[in-house]
Amino acid sequence: MLSLDLRNIHSFVSQNELEGMENEIIKSIQTIYERTGAGNDFLGWLDLPVSMDEKTLEEMESISNELRKEIDYLVVIGIGGSYLGTRAVSEALKPNFPVNSGENPELIYAGQQIGEDYLHDLLLFLKDKEYAICVISKSGTTTEPALAFRLLKDHLVETKGQEKAGQRIIAITDEHKGALRQLAKKEGYRSFVIPDDVGGRFSVLTPVGLVPLAIAGVNIRDLISGAEKMRAKTGKDIPFSENPAALYAAARNFLYHRDKFIEILVNYDPRLHYLSEWWKQLFGESEGKENKGIFPASVDFTTDLHSMGQYIQEGRRELFETVISVKGVQNKLLVPSDKEDLDKLNYLAGKRIDEVNKMAELGTRIAHVEGGVPNIKIEIDSLDENHLGQMIFFFEIACAISGYTLGINPFNQPGVEAYKRNMFALLGKPGFEKETEKIKKKLDQEK
């Protein structure tokens, strides 16, 4: 189960004030379900938990089963929405340290930045490894993954030969358009489609996330069924007071209008680090436009209590926290007793390590709320596929509700083009000659 606890925002936003947002939030929910808002041609994610057809699921599982027998590593090539969802789910579920069972191929990533040394080291690492490539790009033309794919494709052909390499490359891209679709057709790669009406950051429950996750041994059916469960709990007929996504969207919008401009997603389990990275993209790219939007940040506690904790406790009071709290851990470890007790920890002897973590969580919450930082808590029973599916859909629908309530189009990302234009102009890409001239002049003026 996923539950939302808003009690620790009530010294900043009263229950009445929150309920006062009901009409506005209900309007946003109607806009989503009636598909009448800006960006309504990108609402395909809304039905993904119930629309995935059995044939595609079986096809994904069958390719996964075949590759899983052959490979130790899967290189996932993609950036932004084409990789963060996979990484969020996979890192949340895999053991903290590699258990050398050889059961599940390890996911490694490329094309999520342009580090030359990174790519060099990756090619070196893969030299004597059994690996496959899953290349993911909706547009099929994004520079970072395209660069990485050029290098890795050649490497796989060199080490395995043309035919075997062809069998070990899976392409996930647009059904018709883009360079990757063209290449997949030409080379005969097996491929899956990213639906037209699903944007990158909402695409984890399409083949974008499901194919690499299935190869990594994740139960993708449980992931989807978790999302389906949350979809049922957040539908348009659910009353405002019982809809966790509506309440979360209301709370964060209200806090924003009380000058709480930064939301920090907090976890107490290092495996949730990449869920925060996925969440930051989801909310940052959806809401940060027209000079508006909450800035999404994240911390890993208790680690960051020893770095960012000071700022959160006593810095500028424009923050609020959303804590993901996992009720049950999977393993049992007790604090050992020590004859000498030099570290004075014997008072904890016999207690679960998780109890110490939970008291750190509680103590931090009390301190931060007292320090002026409202605290929203999202609690899940355990870290498994089903709960991750619930969280994914919860945040997606909450993000759409929040975006419409803020008055922006949550489904476009016009701002990400600015750096690309400059980069292409600086690199001399054909078709960017005018921009090259403009940027040269600008740089000359700076001299």
Binding segment toward ligand PA5, per CB under 6 A, in 73-81, 272-280, 340-348, 397-405: 73-81
Binding segment toward ligand PA5, per CB under 6 A, in 22-30, 116-124, 138-146, 342-350: 138-146
Pick the closer one to ligand PA5 by CB: 199 or 296. 199
Catalytic residues: 285, 306, 420
Binding segment toward ligand PA5, per CB under 6 A, in 7-15, 46-54, 74-82, 380-388: 74-82
Q: Verify binding: residue 137, ligand PA5, rule CB under 6 A.
A: yes
Q: Verify binding: residue 201, ligand PA5, rule CB under 6 A.
A: yes
Nearest approach in angstroms of CB 143 to ligand PA5 is 9
SS (H, E, C) the chain: CEEEECHHHCCCCCHHHHHCCHHHHHHHHHHHHCCCCCCHHHCHHHHHHHHCCHHHHHHHHHHHHHHHHHCCEEEEECCHHHCHHHHHHHHHHCCCCCCCCCCCCEEEEECCCCCHHHHHHHHHHHCCCCEEEEEEECCCCCHHHHHHHHHHHHHHHHHHCHHHHHHCEEEEECCCCCHHHHHHHHHCCEEEECCCCCCHHHCCCCHHHHHHHHHCCCCHHHHHHHHHHHHHHCCCCCCHHHCHHHHHHHHHHHHHHCCCCEEEEEECCHHHHHHHHHHHHHHHHHHCCCCCCCEEEEEECCHHHHCCHHHHHHCCCCEEEEEEEECCCCCCCECCCCCCCCCCCHHHCCCEHHHHHHHHHHHHHHHHHHCCCCEEEEEECCCCHHHHHHHHHHHHHHHHHHHHHHCCCCCCCHHHHHHHHHHHHHHCCCCCHHHHHHHHHHHHHHC
Pick the closer one to ligand PA5 by CB: 82 or 243. 82
Q: Verify binding: residue 81, ligand PA5, rule CB under 6 A.
A: yes
Binding segment toward ligand PA5, per CB under 6 A, in 136-144, 227-235, 307-315, 392-400: 136-144
Nearest approach in angstroms of CB 182 to ligand PA5 is 14
Q: Verify binding: residue 287, ligand PA5, rule CB under 6 A.
A: no
Q: Verify binding: residue 296, ligand PA5, rule CB under 6 A.
A: no
Q: Which one of 195, 199, 212, 372 is in contact with ligand PA5 (CB under 6 A)?
A: 199
Q: Which one of 37, 105, 200, 374 is in contact with ligand PA5 (CB under 6 A)?
A: 200
Pick the closer one to ligand PA5 by CB: 64 or 413. 413
Q: Verify binding: residue 285, ligand PA5, rule CB under 6 A.
A: yes
Pick the closer one to ligand PA5 by CB: 32 or 79. 79
Residues numbered 383 to 442 that lie near ligand PA5 (CB under 6 A) are 413
Pick the closer one to ligand PA5 by CB: 200 or 403. 200
Pick the closer one to ligand PA5 by CB: 361 or 396. 396
Nearest approach in angstroms of CB 79 to ligand PA5 is 5
Contacts with ligand PA5, residue ranges (CB under 6 A): 79-82, 137-139, 142, 145, 199-201, 285, 413
